[in-house]
Amino acid sequence: MHKKYSYAFGAGIALFFFTIVLINITQGSFLKTLDQSIDTRLLSIQDPLLVSYAVWIGYATNMQHIYLAAVCLIGFLIYRNKRRTALLSGFFLLINTLSFSFLKAQTAIPRPAEILTSETTFAFPSGHTATAFFFFGLVWYVFYTHLKHPLKRILLLCSALIPFIVGAARMYSHSHWFSDVLSGSLHSLFWLCSLLFLVSLTKKG
């Protein structure tokens, strides 16, 4: 399958499952029950050191820090004469942020009662997770297509693992339910695949 069709298929799959999660969390009960079960289990295995790590990960990957890193990534793309990719990346990162912020306001789902971080917004979907999956997914793509370095494989592995670590940390600090993290990842994968589909339509940056 051609890459552009793979990206389009990926976007469709992500949107399909995100819609299922959204419908279930707003109209059903299965995910809410699962959320409570997972949150209770995490509470029972809570460790002060791990909690401090989870809180720090949340701070390190907040929106301000990710956007600062994104500026650097976009600058790298411009330096590599990939101006179209750079412009689209910045645009889709903004769309990703605006859309999950809109969903938070519309669903108005509260965070877990045991939350250990200072948050002022609603829970669904997880903004940290959505931003991490989009940004580090884009980093993985840029490393894979443009980087020639002995440590390339290690960098690819790290950029692939970080979003999952962020999602786990958000649940461990009780900042989010499991469904928030799941929906955040699906939400951003839809926008990321849509971005890569548009990038793949032309061979030049």
Predicted local distance difference test score (pLDDT) of residue 94:
96
pTM: 0.94
- Residue 49 inside a domain? The answer is no
Domain holding 12, by residue range, is: 3-43+56-200
Structure tokens at 37: 């079960």
pLDDT of residue 1: 54
CA distance 125 to 165: 16
Domain membership of residue 51 (yes or no) is no
What was the pLDDT predicted at 3? 76
CA dist 29 and 37 (Å) reads: 12
Task: Give the position of tokens 């045991």.
Answer: 114
Residue 17 lies in a domain: yes
In a domain, 30, yes or no: yes
Residue 66 lies inside a defined structural domain of this protein: yes
**How many Cβ atoms sit within 10 Å of the Cβ of residue 183?**
31
Say what the pLDDT of residue 120 is: 85
pLDDT, mean of each 10-residue run, the chain (205 residues): 83 97 93 95 94 95 95 93 94 96 96 89 96 97 87 93 97 96 98 95 66
From CA 102, how far away is CA 105, in angstroms rounded? 5
Q: What does the pLDDT read at residue 169? A: 97
3-state secondary structure of 172: helix
d(CA 3, CA 66) in angstroms, rounded, equals: 27
pLDDT value at residue 203:
60
- Is residue 48 a part of any domain in this protein? no
13 is a domain residue:
yes
Judge whether 149 lies within some domain. yes
Main-chain dihedrals φ then ψ at residue 109, nearest 5 degrees:
-85, 125
Domains of the chain: total: 1
What is the reported pLDDT for 123? 95
pLDDT at 110: 95
CA 147 to mean position of chain CA atoms: 22
